[in-house]
Amino acid sequence: MFEADTTEQDDLRGGRPPWTTGFRRPVRVTLDRSLQCDVVIIGAGITGALVAQHLTRLGHKVTMIDRERAGFGSTAASTAMLQWEIDCPLGELTAFYGFDRAANIYRRSLQAVSGLKSLVDELALGCAFRHRSSLYIAGGDVGASGLLAEHRLRERAGLPGAYLDYFTLKREFDFDREAAIISPGSADADPLLLAHALIADALSHGAALYDAEAVGYNSFGHGVVVALDNGHEIQARQVILATGYVMPDFVRTELHKTASSWAIATPPQVPEALWRDGVLIWEASDDYLYARTTGDNRIIVGGEDDEDVTEPSERDALMPAKAVAILRKLKLLRPAADATAEFVWSGAFGETLDGLPLIGQVPGYPAVFAAYGYGGNGITFSFLASRIVAKMIAGDREDWYDDLAIDRPLPRA
């Protein structure tokens, strides 16, 4: 796990993702005094942005702080495939928690993507947001029978989608895989533009964004005093941790681990090299491949995740070799594509044992809430976190929140 007091944005990602050029960045103001607010959000990446936008619109006096550029940590390394399907298949999640709980979590994830779509449409956020279906393709040890069983379980849960056998998949999408599940309801976007647009909306409705680093958290009768590195402090009724893969040392969980992931973006492709409808592609294997297109006809491909590589220098040194491996997989998946990497980047990748986020009250700190949207559904879970935390602050609570709690029991094998 990354240390909170020493980790910098360059430790969270390396290389050059396609999102980081030509953007108008939110301005952080130096905090030269102590202040009070309703809610202080620690971290101004996509999670902090979603939380700030929502709470500000609900009427809370919100302060955001970040010690570095807003959105240029893990958010900038995201491929922004906004899926409701969880890294942990419904069948596996059912084995962990039973069908009813697992199905409910999947349905909540579907609702989260729908809610994010509605938010982007309502606010007309300029973030290259596109409605997409996802294509879950056979891979590794998971073939047609495994995907069919997963599809039937999803049908039982009332989730949308259709099973495609080999011939249908080949005819409709020209992929040479044993089978697939096609599901509506996902999306893709430019993650930096999305984060910055959300922050801009929050700032326009009264939120504040400061250049500051939290170094201590002290509870008092009706809230928390956040000590800053410059000697000032922020007194708030609630604190929300949106610090991504950098957790304060008082947040403890055995569910979370950090790995590394790599991705490439090709040059713009000729139309015939792309696949139908620009569906989001992800592979049913442990070391899965994932791919999407962009508005300017690039192909973004990622994968090659490695749990044994966590040091930033080692991760970044592997970028050339990982790019070659990813391009080789792209060529196998889509032979007509120009398998050249114009952008190559790496990033820390947080995941949990059950593929679910860590959302809710931090044990032992009643006014501190966690919003950690880990796994391949990071942005989807971040939206979900913004809604759950807002309800918990308002005193509303639902039983299913326990399924995402930081101190939930480890999944049973």
User: Based on the domain organization, do 248 and 209 belong to the same domain?
Assistant: yes
Tokens of 89: 């298949």
The CA-based angle 176-180-183, given to 5 degrees, is 135
User: Based on the domain organization, do 215 and 265 belong to the same domain?
Assistant: no
For residue 126, give every residue at least 6 positions away whose Cβ sits within 8 Å of its Cβ, in sequence order, or none: 193, 197
Tokens of 234: 């922020």
CA gyration radius, the chain: 21
pLDDT digits (tens, 9 = 90+) for 236-290: 999 999 998 778 888 888 888 888 889 999 999 999 999 999 999 999 987 778 9
User: Based on the domain organization, do 67 and 37 belong to the same domain?
Assistant: yes
User: Based on the domain organization, do 220 and 275 belong to the same domain?
Assistant: no
Q: How far is CA 136 from the centre of its chain?
A: 18
CA pair distance 3, 407, nearest whole angstrom: 20
Helix axes 99-123, 191-204, angle to 10 degrees: 70
User: Based on the domain organization, do 240 and 333 belong to the same domain?
Assistant: no
The answer to whether the beta carbons of residues 74 and 12 sit under 8 Å apart is yes
CATH code, 341: 3.30.9.10
Domain boundary among 312, 337, 352: 352
* Residue 264, in any domain of the structure: yes
User: Based on the domain organization, do 178 and 296 belong to the same domain?
Assistant: yes
Half-sphere exposure of 171 (CA within 13 A, CB side): 5
Please state the pTM of the whole predicted model.
0.93
User: Based on the domain organization, do 274 and 206 belong to the same domain?
Assistant: no
* Residue 270, in any domain of the structure: yes
Domain boundary among 309, 327, 352: 352
User: Based on the domain organization, do 68 and 182 belong to the same domain?
Assistant: no
The answer to whether the beta carbons of residues 161 and 183 sit under 8 Å apart is yes
Question: What pLDDT is attached to residue 287?
Answer: 73
CA pair distance 231, 385, nearest whole angstrom: 30
Question: What pLDDT is attached to residue 2?
Answer: 47
CA pair distance 331, 337, nearest whole angstrom: 7
Domain boundary among 334, 352, 370: 352
Neighbours of 396 (CB within 10 A): 10
User: Based on the domain organization, do 250 and 398 belong to the same domain?
Assistant: yes
User: What's the total number of domains in the chain?
Assistant: 2
CATH code, 198: 3.50.50.60
User: Based on the domain organization, do 236 and 137 belong to the same domain?
Assistant: no
Q: What residues form DSSP beta bridges with 210?
A: 29, 65
pLDDT digits (tens, 9 = 90+) for 36-50: 999 999 999 999 999
* Residue 107, in any domain of the structure: no
For residue 191, give every residue at least 6 positions away whose Cβ sits within 8 Å of its Cβ, in sequence order, or none: 19, 46, 71, 75, 76, 78, 80, 379
* Residue 89, in any domain of the structure: no
User: Based on the domain organization, do 300 and 240 belong to the same domain?
Assistant: no
* Residue 3, in any domain of the structure: no
Question: What pLDDT is attached to residue 9?
Answer: 47
Per-residue pLDDT in tens (0 to 9) along the chain, 413 residues = 444 554 444 555 678 888 865 556 788 889 999 999 999 999 999 999 999 999 999 999 999 999 888 878 788 888 999 999 999 999 999 999 999 999 999 999 999 999 999 999 999 999 999 999 999 999 988 999 999 999 999 999 999 999 999 999 999 999 999 999 999 999 999 999 999 999 999 999 999 999 999 999 999 878 999 999 999 999 999 999 999 877 888 888 888 888 888 999 999 999 999 999 999 999 998 777 899 999 999 999 998 877 788 788 888 899 999 999 999 999 999 999 999 999 999 888 778 899 999 999 999 999 999 999 877 888 999 999 999 999 999 999 999 999 999 999 988 75
User: Based on the domain organization, do 309 and 381 belong to the same domain?
Assistant: no
Helix axes 191-204, 46-57, angle to 10 degrees: 30
* Residue 202, in any domain of the structure: yes
* 148: containing domain: 131-186+255-352
Question: What pLDDT is attached to residue 8?
Answer: 46
Q: What residues form DSSP beta bridges with 235?
A: 36, 225
* Residue 105, in any domain of the structure: no
Tokens of 308: 């044994």
* Residue 239, in any domain of the structure: yes
